[in-house]
Structure 1
């Protein structure tokens, strides 16, 4: 099954989604907008990911998943610092499509993943079989490494390769941090957000040095494609997001390509 492991829907609100600066995507994006593009590239499903830190949005995403069978899993948000965290996780986990949680990095400061209250919340996820999705900037990878090492039985997945600067060669620090994070076998990585970070001025070859690092670090068995649509529209079309990754892995075996383009996501998110 071909799976887009990272996409978003929203009813645009300039206050809630203040991090969205591109005027072209400061509007509503809903299932009817994405469905024909998925069909065009033979994708059978998606992983729908939160874009605002509220339980209200999590409920909105779960409602969309009930109405659209191509949504195979939902990554929502709950307040991991809350004393009521277990009650929130129990409530959302009643929905079998609720597979995990994420924090939007724009709403967090510094090494938030090393905060004791936050880590206490993360410690509750495994009890519900839930994933934590790591969204960080490169300078926050140290915190991600510490989190992964502290909870070796917790499933983690890095989003967007930690948002490096694709206009330059990969920094030595980023490469070292990616390798150290990947040394934790409980951590997977999404090849996502390439066009979201690159903007309009890019060539496919710009991404290759970064993909070389994550393939060497994680192996194809812990990598999964994600478009980051509609944020990716800031840099190019949906088809271009797919083509960049498929072209890169054309030098690999068909089995490796199938893993990256859906097989790993199906296993990681327990999609039948």
Structure 2
């Protein structure tokens, strides 16, 4: 069974969703479970992981409500203020919902030293005792901080989103590739093969352009720690859902696909029923 490890829902509001600027007209509207379910079905995907897109506990509650009403949403990665004084209580409250599986912060929008901050790391400390994961969303230049973070918390389960958003060009940047290999050397880290189409120049691409990047990631992490994610609906800025999933299907062998397209995400997020 296939699982999409990374997608979003939102009820669009120009202030709350200010990151969706005028160049993103295709996604400046609501995207709800009823929009995604037929798309997943058409592409042979049985379930998904809903991931936060804005920095609010209200959105986390919204995603959990979506999961309550839509069984195909198998897990929720929400947001909580990891730097807040009451972070333990907040995580305990969200953890009462059985599909709350992890936390993400949009670190790509923060200063490059954000993940070194003591307050942030105190919040990270509260995740592992509750069995919660952490999604790392960074630009390639922020990978050194991510490496230091996963080294500091060897028992915490981490997953790198969007292969750290390198610029998709003819050849992978050497610094990005080196940092991916170092990050993958920590066995508490997985990687989502996701979010690549929107990193292509002018959001135009050819399938073969992704091959060298996927080779680096797969050689580094192995097929037991890589998982497919669509990044729907953000992917619609550069590709259809079918085009995104076919990039991954075309790269991996028939033997590898069950892990990359489903088992690895299920194991990481503790998804036991499809």
Answer whether contact 1:8 1:228 (CA < 8 A) is retained. Answer: yes
What is the distance in 1 between the residues matched to 2:105 and 2:37? Answer: 26
Normalising to structure 1: TM-score of the pair? 0.97
Quote how far apart the aligned CAs of 1:104 are.
1.4
Q: How does 1:114-129 map to 2 (within 5 A)?
A: 114-129=116-131
Q: Which residue of 1 aligns with 2:232?
A: 229
Segments of structure 2 that go 5 or more residues without pairing to the other structure are none
RMSD of aligned Cα (Å): 1.0
Q: Which residue of 1 aligns with 2:142?
A: 140
Q: Which residue of 2 aligns with 1:131?
A: 133
Q: Which residue of 2 aligns with 1:48?
A: 50
What is the distance in 2 between the residues matched to 1:265 and 1:111? Answer: 29
What is the distance in 1 between the residues matched to 2:208 and 2:28? Answer: 29
Quote how far apart the aligned CAs of 1:168 are.
3.9
Quote how far apart the aligned CAs of 1:167 are.
2.6
Deviation readout 1:57-102 (Å, 9 max, x if unpaired): 0000000000000000000000000110000000000001000000
Q: Which residue of 2 aligns with 1:81?
A: 83
Moved over 6 A (4+): none
Please identify, of 45-54 and 101-110, the stretch whose mean Cα deviation from structure 2 is larger.
Answer: 101-110
Quote how far apart the aligned CAs of 1:52 are.
0.2
Quote how far apart the aligned CAs of 1:201 are.
1.1
Quote how far apart the aligned CAs of 1:106 are.
4.8
Q: Which residue of 2 aligns with 1:15?
A: 15
What is the distance in 1 between the residues matched to 2:256 and 2:270? Answer: 19
Out of 196, 204, 213, the position equivalent to 1:210 is: 213
Q: Secondary structure at the match of 1:44?
A: strand
Deviation readout 1:91-129 (Å, 9 max, x if unpaired): 000001000000113542212111111011001100110
What is the distance in 2 between the residues matched to 1:70 and 1:240? Answer: 21
Answer whether contact 2:108 2:139 (CA < 8 A) is retained. Answer: no
Deviation readout 1:148-175 (Å, 9 max, x if unpaired): 0000000000000000000341111001
Answer whether contact 2:177 2:216 (CA < 8 A) is retained. Answer: yes
What is the distance in 2 between the residues matched to 1:184 and 1:221? Answer: 13
Answer whether contact 1:38 1:44 (CA < 8 A) is retained. Answer: yes
Q: How does 1:161-240 map to 2 (within 5 A)?
A: 161-198=163-200, 200-240=203-243
Answer whether contact 1:19 1:106 (CA < 8 A) is retained. Answer: no
